[in-house]
Structures are given as structure tokens and as C-alpha cells.
Structure 1
Amino acid sequence: MERGSADTTLSIKEIKELWSRTYNEVGKPGWSHIFSYYHDNIVFQDSIQRIEGKDEFLEMCNRLAKRCKSLSMEIFNIVKTDKVVMMEWKMTMSFRRFPNKPIYGSTRLTFNDEGLIIEQRDYYDLWGDIYDGIPIVRPVYRRFMKKFFG
């Protein structure tokens, strides 16, 4: 992709290809091939944390890669409008002695005028997806969520 062209953001096809290579079923995940698409002032936020700056973002990605025994991502849908991309996914993670666990979510990528990702917001219910895999905890957690949040 040539920066400075009429549409400088990544295409849906490019995003699907790049993000699918990020996560693999065997071995450690790696993000190094997508880091060049992030702006130095990237703001990343998910259910757990808010990270500001590319150095901090790279550190967070490397920490996750180090902790994961394996990690894979299946992208279901991608929608692009102007400088915003939304994608829906299933990420399956394995940590140390724990079995593979799927987490379902979505990601919003916001691009600046140069075609770099200036903001990434990941949406997912980490604890719900984890607790759903634990037979004794699942019903208690779901009753709690329904009672207090709807």
C-alpha cells in the first residue's frame, strides 16, 4: 500500500490477511508485521486497560505473546467506512497449564490522514467468556450479571 494515495487506510482484504497472520494456532503469536501501521501516538483501550503511545502498545503486545502458549483469531465480519474499520472475531487463547478458551469480541480501528492506526478499541466480555467454561461458576456469574446489569 502506498501512503499518501487517495485512500491511505488499509483495505478490508489487507486487514483480514495481516490480522490473521498475527495469531497462529501453533506457537507464539507475533505482531511485528503490523507495528508499522500504528501511529507513534496510538491509543489502545480494551476491557482491562488503556495504553497511550506506540512503545507502551508494543510492550503490551509482547507481554501477551510471552504469556500465551498459543493464540488464534478467526475474523467473522469486517466493515469499513472512511477511516474506521470494525471487525468481529473469535480469539482462542491458551495460557500455561490452562486449556484453550475462546473469547468473542470486536475491534474498532481508527486511521489518521496518513493511513496509520491512531486508535484501537477492543470490545469483549473477558470474564463472561472465561466463566462460561467453568460449570460451577457459570450459573452464579450469569445470575449476578442478569440481576445487576440487565
Structure 2
Amino acid sequence: MDGFCIESADQIRELWSKTYNTEGKPDWSHILPYYDDNILFKDTIQEIRGIEEFKKMTERLAERSKELKMAVLRVIKEDNVVFVEWEMTILFKKTRTSVIYGASRLSISEGGKIIEQRDYYDLWGDIFDNIPSFRKPYRRFMRKHFG
């Protein structure tokens, strides 16, 4: 054991809240030691395996965005599973600010590290909702084709 173990929902809330500072640029350096070397990360656009690839993904996200903030709304832990509900406000370099609503499911290994993270969110819907010319056609398309 190296001392970097996930033990409670409050600990996750504190760690995640420190990731996004007041200047708007995220910094994952304090939380990365809590991830297992064999982390499996999945979201709506990618699947990443291993801590080195995960670090690269966090660097790409920071580079892509002019400003990034996250509000942690709820954290619930049961056994070795943690759910985090969040709102991410992101200002991409050439667009307007968008709020993305999502949740993350974290699986904790027996050693206390995050071994799997699955993020759930509607990236395009949340972004298009903030662009008047895209909002209505996108929502109409989604209702027509997906219910």
C-alpha cells in the first residue's frame, strides 16, 4: 500500500473538487496517484487503458479547452463502487461556454485504487443546447429517430 487509497465518498468529493481550480485550467496531478496503473477509462467517445494513456487524455482535455470547471453535485459509495454526479462547464478555444451534465461510475480495486472509470454524458446534446441554430434541429432529430 502506498497511502493513495479511496476510502470514502467524501474523499472522492474532495479530490475531484480540487481538480478544477479557480483559473479554469484543470490539474489532475493530485488525483492520479489514486488511479491503478491498469485503469480502464470509457466515455461516449473513447476507451483508454493504462495510466500513461489516461494521463495523456487528461492533458489533451486541458489543452483543448480555454476554461474548464466542474461542480460535484453528489457522491455515493457502496462497497467498491462510487457514483459521482457532476456539471462540467467548458469553454472551448473557438466556441462559447457549454455545460455538460454527467455522472461517473468508479470501480475501486481491492488495493483501494480506481481500476475503472465510466463517464456518462450527452456531449453533443449539451453542447448543441448552447448553440441556438443547432439546438432545435438536433433535439427534433433525436426525438424523431430515437424516441
TM-score tier (shorter): over 0.9
Looking at structure 2, the residues matched to 58 and 2 of structure 1 have their Cα atoms a distance apart, in angstroms, of 19
Counterpart residue number, 2:117 = 120
Counterpart residue number, 1:46 = 43
**Aligned: 1:108 with 2:105:** yes
3-state secondary structure, aligned to 1:115: coil
Deviation digits for residues 83-123 of structure 1, max 9, x if unmatched? 00001110001121322211000000000000000000000
**Aligned: 1:37 with 2:34:** yes
* CA deviation after TM superposition for structure 1 residue 3, in Å: 4.9
Counterpart residue number, 1:93 = 90
Counterpart residue number, 2:59 = 62
TM-score, reference length from structure 1: 0.92
User: In terms of mean alpha carbon deviation, does 62-71 or 120-129 score higher?
Assistant: 62-71
Looking at structure 2, the residues matched to 99 and 69 of structure 1 have their Cα atoms a distance apart, in angstroms, of 10
Alignment RMSD (CA, Å)? 1.8
Q: Of 72, 76, 80, which aligns to 2:73?
A: 76
- Name the count of aligned residue pairs: 147
* CA deviation after TM superposition for structure 1 residue 52, in Å: 0.6
Q: Which runs of 5+ in 1 are unaligned?
A: none
Looking at structure 1, the residues matched to 32 and 40 of structure 2 have their Cα atoms a distance apart, in angstroms, of 13
Give the 3 Å change call, closer, same or farther, for CA 92–25 of structure 1 in structure 2.
farther
Residue 70 of structure 1 contacts residue 95 of structure 1 at CA under 8 Å; is this kept in 2? yes
Q: How does 1:5-44 map to 2 (within 5 A)?
A: 9-44=6-41
> Which AA in structure 1 matches 2:56?
E
Counterpart residue number, 2:128 = 131
Deviation digits for residues 45-99 of structure 1, max 9, x if unmatched? 0001000111100000011112221111111111110000001110001121322
Looking at structure 2, the residues matched to 27 and 136 of structure 1 have their Cα atoms a distance apart, in angstroms, of 27
Q: Which runs of 5+ in 2 are unaligned?
A: none
Looking at structure 2, the residues matched to 147 and 11 of structure 1 have their Cα atoms a distance apart, in angstroms, of 43
* CA deviation after TM superposition for structure 1 residue 11, in Å: 1.1
